[in-house]
Amino acid sequence: MANKLVIIDTDCGIDDAQAIMMALAAPNLEVLAVTCVFGNATVENVCQNILRVLSVCDRQGIPVFQGSAGPLVGVNWSPFSDHFGGDGLGDVLEDKDPQWKEKIQQEHAVNAMIRLASKYENQVSLVALGPLTNLALAIRLDPRFPQKLGELFIMGGNMEGKGNVTVCAEFNFAMDPESAYVVLEEFICPTYLTTWEYCCRNALTWEFFEELVNQDFPAARFMKAVTSKCWAYSKEAMKNKRDVYFGPGFVSYDSYAMAACVDGSTVLESIECPVRVELQGSMSRGMLVLDRTKSLKKSHAVRVMSKCNVKKFGRLLMESLKQPWRK
Ligand SMILES: [Ca+2]
């Protein structure tokens, strides 16, 4: 199978780690770079988390770039949620690498994205798993950046106005609404959106989760450790949160966007329509709006995923934790 060249832009929390492992396990993907952004943790923590994930999978050769430390606008933003712990990986890992900075590339993440998209014009799939700050900066530095991309997958936003960080907004978009706005107004490349509700409506069972993390591989043991004390992976803690809308289930958010990149057939149905991000509103700032009646008169439409082949998705997840491979 022809190799798909991929750049992963991430705010490496636990589900990013899972999604990245899926990319590393996919035989048809070649990960050119991992670019880091603030979000689930500080960008410094995100860099360290990525190095750790690559090391668990024995894939340290993939270059890691440090990117934006905060959103485009706003000083009073809440730096990160406690969703995946203060360090983004469940606050259970102790042996920090004092030399981590030396393992991060000197080039800024945004410059690296532009350089790679220019070098491999129209061949790169960009998978964005965190706030979209690096992407928004990339188009300001190089207005042709979106044209140079092959395709763009985004985990972020919502399609039913249900929020997970505010009443109406999803975390990645709420962390930097202006960047999400810029990307969805100006990125004219083929764009696929994995919304919060899409993930929640296509949840796997908690039994599946047990089977997933109890596999006898280093990657599975890592995932078991980082989820062990995390409320987002606790059946009990979710009862008053996500379950209120969607019922119980295990949801690995970012993995749905990565699965769509790895194998388009994991997406059974999607809605093709223009979208816009709400920037105002006391409750709706950061909310994604779907314009299904074309009222906004926009020329560019995106694909908003609506139905997942959960069986196929589950198989990709299961395979992704069977790492590293002995060659
Ligand atoms: Ca993420």
Which CATH number fits the domain that encloses residue 186?
3.90.245.10
Q: Which residues, 6+ apart, have CB-to-CB distance to 322 below 8 Å?
A: 25, 215, 217, 219, 220
**313 — pLDDT class (breaks 50, 70, 90):** very high
Backbone angles phi, psi at 153, to 5 degrees: -110, 130
Residue 11 appears among annotated catalytic residues: yes
Is 12 inside any structural domain? yes
ω into 324 cis (within 30 of 0): yes
pLDDT of residue 240: 78
Q: How far is the CA of 13 from the centre of ligand 1 (A)?
A: 6
Which tops the pLDDT comparison, 238 or 72? 72
CA 15 to centroid of ligand 1, rounded, Å: 6
Q: What is the DSSP letter of 325?
A: P
Distance 47 CA to ligand 1 centre (A): 13
Residue 325 lies in a domain: no
* Number of separate domains in the chain: 1
Identify whether 298 is part of a domain. yes
Residue 327 belongs to some domain of the structure: no
Helix-, strand-, coil-residue percentages of the chain, each rounded to 5: 40, 15, 45
Q: What is the pLDDT of residues 234-267, one digit of tens each?
A: 777 777 788 888 888 899 999 999 999 999 999 9
pLDDT in tens, 166-175: 889 999 999 9
Tell whether 314 is covered by a domain.
yes
Environment class of 280 (CB within 10 Å of its CB; exposed 0-12, middle 13-18, buried 19+): exposed
**For residue 116, what pLDDT band results from cuts at 50, 70 and 90?**
very high
Distance, CA 44 to ligand 1 centroid (Å)? 15
List the one residue out of 204, 256, 241, 325 whose CA is nearest residue 18. 256
pLDDT tops 50 at residue 327 = no
Residue 177 has pLDDT above 50, yes or no: yes
Average pLDDT, the chain: 93
* 155 alpha carbon – ligand 1 mean position (Å): 7
pLDDT of residue 135: 98
Distance from Cα 166 to the centre of ligand 1, integer Å? 17
Mean local confidence (pLDDT), 74-93: 70
- Res. 137: pLDDT tops 70: yes
**Higher-confidence residue: 163 or 1?**
163
DSSP assignments along 199-212, one per residue: HHHTPBPHHHHHHH
Tell me how far the alpha carbon of residue 5 lies from the centroid of ligand 1, in angstroms. 20
- Neighbouring residues of 114: CB distance < 8 A, sequence distance ≥ 6: 138, 141, 142, 145
| Active-site residue (options: 9, 11, 15, 87) | 11
Provide the residue range defining the domain that includes 178.
4-320
Answer yes or no: is pLDDT of 74 > 90: no
pLDDT value at residue 142: 98
68 belongs to a structural domain? yes
Asked whether residue 37 is domain-assigned, the answer is yes
Instruction: Tell me, yes or no, whether 260 lies in a domain.
Output: yes
Ligand 1 centre and the CA of 293: distance in Å? Answer: 30
Given a cut of 70, whether residue 8 has pLDDT beyond it is yes
For residue 75, pLDDT over 70 is answered with no
